[in-house]
């Protein structure tokens, strides 16, 4: 990494220009359009429901209202936006600190089930450095949460890294374990293309619950028994655990700033990811804010 890039990573970033796209909501099945707009320093990531009086919903763990199969955020007026984790992962992975995400419905488009289409949008819009330094959340001591055989932890560490372990009975997935240090483009290169996945036998039940109405082989890896139903197969042999890492990166960005430390998940889902961020914030001795420094680029999430 050149000194020029390191120096630019000290500063907050937003988009150079507005950019948008349309797609299908995974759970509603409705077509939805989004626009990513540049925002001033210290804005953070803010979702704006243009179909609900331009209601703003800041992307922060305090605003999580539901975690069933996706992350749903809401404001004090009851306006919500769901399935935000893939876009948040792309924004984290591309080093975007400040952006307004305008959306004309209650759910983000699922695109191809990964974060790659959002990374492409961000790269097309371009990034611009702003006048204030990035603020990073440094983990000072280990915190952990567990429930029902699921575990998540945050530990001190140089830079931001994610480890994840999953274990499914089906031979199509089985046991998968991966660790990734998110620096120098590893999010884009190793994680962003991993797609969400589901099980064919659960589709009818989910749709009765009003979920997965927009799900298809075009936007998810579908497992039936011990087989993958997608004709093209997997993008990676361990695509399932890579997608769990992707979800974790998005959920952890709800801390409101990049994290300097190591996240470890075992069979963790959205609710557990949110819980570990809350556990960190609940202990004032476990973390502190620091400003990003050019000589420590590892503090930063990869600039895709």
Element of type H or E holding 253: none
3-state secondary structure of 233: coil
Quick one: 290 exposed, middle or buried, by C-beta within 10 A (0-12, 13-18, 19+)? Answer: middle
Residue 297 has pLDDT above 60, yes or no: no
If you compute the radius of gyration of the chain from its CA atoms, what whole number of angstroms results? 18
Confidence of residue 294 (pLDDT cuts 50, 70, 90): low
- Tell me what the pLDDT averaged over the chain comes to: 91
Percent of the chain with pLDDT over 70: 90
What residues are labeled active site? 270
Spell out the SS3 assignment of 194-231: CCCEEEHHHHHHHHHCCCCCCCCCCCCEEEECCEECCC
Confidence of residue 211 (pLDDT cuts 50, 70, 90): low
Spell out the SS3 assignment of 132-198: EECEEEEECCCEEEEECCEEEEEECCCCEEEEEEEECCCCCCCEEEEEEECCCCHHHHHHCCCCCEE
Residue 5 has pLDDT above 70, yes or no: no
Do 37 and 102 form a contact (C-beta atoms < 8 A)? yes
Q: For 145-152, what is the mean pLDDT?
A: 95
In the prediction, which pLDDT does 218 show?
87
111: left (phi over 0), alpha (psi -120 to 50) or beta: left
CA distance 215 to 101: 23
CA distance 251 to 277: 9
In the prediction, which pLDDT does 300 show?
36
Spell out the SS3 assignment of 85-107: HHHHHHHHHCCCCEEEEEECCCE
In the prediction, which pLDDT does 301 show?
39
Residue 243 has pLDDT above 70, yes or no: yes
For residue range 172-186, list pLDDT tens digits in order: 999 999 999 998 889
For residue range 225-238, list pLDDT tens digits in order: 999 999 999 999 99
For residue range 108-128, list pLDDT tens digits in order: 999 999 999 999 999 999 999
For residue range 192-202, list pLDDT tens digits in order: 999 999 888 87
In the prediction, which pLDDT does 170 show?
94
CA 212 to chain centre: 19
For residue range 51-106, list pLDDT tens digits in order: 999 999 999 999 999 998 899 999 999 999 999 999 999 999 999 999 999 999 99
User: What is this structure's pTM?
Assistant: 0.92
């Amino acid at each position: 990494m050149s000194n020029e890039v390191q120096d630019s990573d000290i500063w907050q970033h937003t988009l150079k220009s507005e950019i948008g796209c349309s797609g299908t909501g995974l759970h509603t099945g409705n077509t939805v359009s989004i626009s990513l707009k540049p925002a001033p320093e210290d804005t953070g990531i803010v979702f704006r429901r243009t179909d609900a009086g331009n209601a703003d919903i800041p992307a922060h763990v305090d605003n999580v209202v539901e975690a069933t199969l996706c992350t749903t955020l809401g404001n004090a007026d009851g306006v919500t936006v769901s399935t935000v984790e893939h876009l948040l992962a792309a924004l984290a992975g591309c080093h975007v600190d400040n952006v307004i995400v305008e959306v004309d419905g209650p759910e983000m488009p699922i695109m191809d089930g990964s974060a790659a289409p959002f990374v492409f949008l961000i790269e097309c819009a371009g990034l611009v450095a702003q006048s204030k330094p990035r603020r990073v959340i440094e983990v000072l001591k280990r915190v952990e949460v567990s429930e029902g055989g699921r575990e998540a932890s945050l530990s001190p560490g140089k830079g931001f890294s994610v480890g994840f372990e999953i274990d499914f009975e089906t031979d199509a997935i089985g046991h998968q374990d991966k660790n990734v240090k998110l620096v120098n483009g590893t999010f884009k290169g190793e994680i962003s293309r991993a797609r969400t996945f589901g099980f064919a036998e659960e589709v009818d039940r989910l749709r009765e619950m009003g979920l997965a109405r927009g799900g298809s082989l075009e936007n998810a890896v579908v497992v039936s028994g011990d087989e993958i139903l997608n004709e093209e197969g997997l993008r990676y042999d361990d695509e399932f655990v890579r997608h769990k890492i992707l979800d974790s990166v998005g959920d952890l960005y709800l801390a409101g700033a990049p994290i300097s430390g190591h996240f470890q998940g075992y069979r963790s889902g959205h609710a557990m990811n949110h819980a570990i961020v809350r556990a960190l914030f609940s202990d004032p001795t476990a973390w502190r804010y620091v400003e990003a420094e050019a000589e420590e680029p590892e503090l930063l999430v990869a600039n895709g």
